[in-house]
């Protein structure tokens, strides 16, 4: 992938809904492919800022987000999306780090010094209880991912459960790979290799809960996200789960 594969302007908060922003970051290499990255920022009712899957740290970005409210929560939502959390936590020693099960162990294996203050569960903690719902998606011992639903704006936040790479932003060989993997726009979905890691019945139950939340929009960490029609996109993306 090339810089044209990203979503400029980079490292700049972009309003999505009242109190919700996305921040598109530079690419990060994984599995011989460069992925565009995306963070979601929410201003909670308390005024505190909540950062999901932080992208590359920069002082101007820190200042821009702090202008919306003090950053109090840094979220590492799955076993892969923790790469930049340490940089943010070093800059924000007063912020709490919330990580999906398995993140701390994975970081230690990779030699990454990552502070984890809390492990995420199916129950939203006190700082965002009643405002942001969450579940840790079951069904896989390898891919553990926490998903979040911001109730006031009907916004679902996913990380890797759906990827939606746009062909026009990809070099030809990555275009072929994503088409075969099943995670290419407009038919973005869970990559086919990741599907093999899940028990379908367990994953199906989690998807039903996400659909029951009734999201209007679905923010993804990789590729084009869904600004409208969130429920329909979930049904389409997970149609492979149906018997």
Distance set, CA 182 to CA 26, 187, 191 (Å)? 23, 7, 6
Quick check: 47 pLDDT over 80? Answer: yes
Say what the pTM is. 0.96
- Give per-residue pLDDT as tens, 49-58: 999 999 999 9
Q: Single out the residue of 191, 196, 57 nearest to residue 140, CA to CA.
A: 196
The domain locations on the chain are: 3-235
Q: Single out the residue of 62, 21, 32, 70 nearest to residue 178, CA to CA.
A: 32
Q: Are 150 and 157 in contact (CB under 8 A)?
A: yes
Least confident of 7-11, 26-30, 42-46: 26-30
- CATH 3.60.15.10, applies to 3-235: yes
pLDDT band at 174 (very low <50, low <70, confident <90, very high): confident
What DSSP designation does 151 have? G
Distance set, CA 78 to CA 103, 155, 175 (Å)? 7, 19, 25
First-to-last CA distance in the chain? 35
Average pLDDT of the residues of the chain: 95
- Give per-residue pLDDT as tens, 58-96: 999 999 999 999 999 999 999 999 999 999 999 999 999
């Amino acid at each position: 992938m090339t810089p044209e594969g990203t979503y400029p302007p980079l490292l700049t908060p972009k309003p999505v809904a009242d109190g919700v922003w996305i921040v598109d970051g530079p690419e990060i290499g994984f599995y011989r492919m460069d992925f565009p990255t995306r963070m979601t920022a929410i201003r909670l009712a308390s005024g505190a800022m909540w950062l999901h899957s932080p992208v590359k740290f920069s002082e101007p970005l820190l200042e821009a987000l702090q202008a919306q409210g003090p950053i109090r929560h840094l979220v590492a939502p799955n076993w892969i999306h923790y790469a930049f959390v340490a940089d943010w936590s070093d800059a924000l020693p007063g912020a709490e780090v919330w990580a999906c099960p398995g993140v701390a162990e994975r970081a230690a294996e990779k030699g990454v010094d990552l502070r984890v203050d809390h492990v995420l569960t199916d129950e939203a903690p006190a700082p965002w209880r009643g405002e942001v719902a969450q579940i840790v998606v079951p069904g896989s011992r390898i891919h553990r991912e926490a998903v979040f639903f911001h109730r006031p704006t009907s916004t679902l936040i996913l990380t890797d459960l759906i990827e939606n790479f746009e062909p026009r932003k990809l070099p030809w060989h990555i275009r072929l790979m994503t088409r075969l993997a099943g995670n290419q726009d407009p038919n973005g979905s869970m990559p086919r290799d990741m599907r093999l890691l899940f028990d379908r019945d367990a994953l199906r139950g989690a998807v039903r809960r996400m659909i029951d939340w009734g999201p209007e929009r679905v923010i993804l960490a990789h590729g084009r996200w869904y600004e409208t029609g969130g429920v329909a996109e979930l049904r389409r993306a997970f149609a492979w789960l149906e018997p």
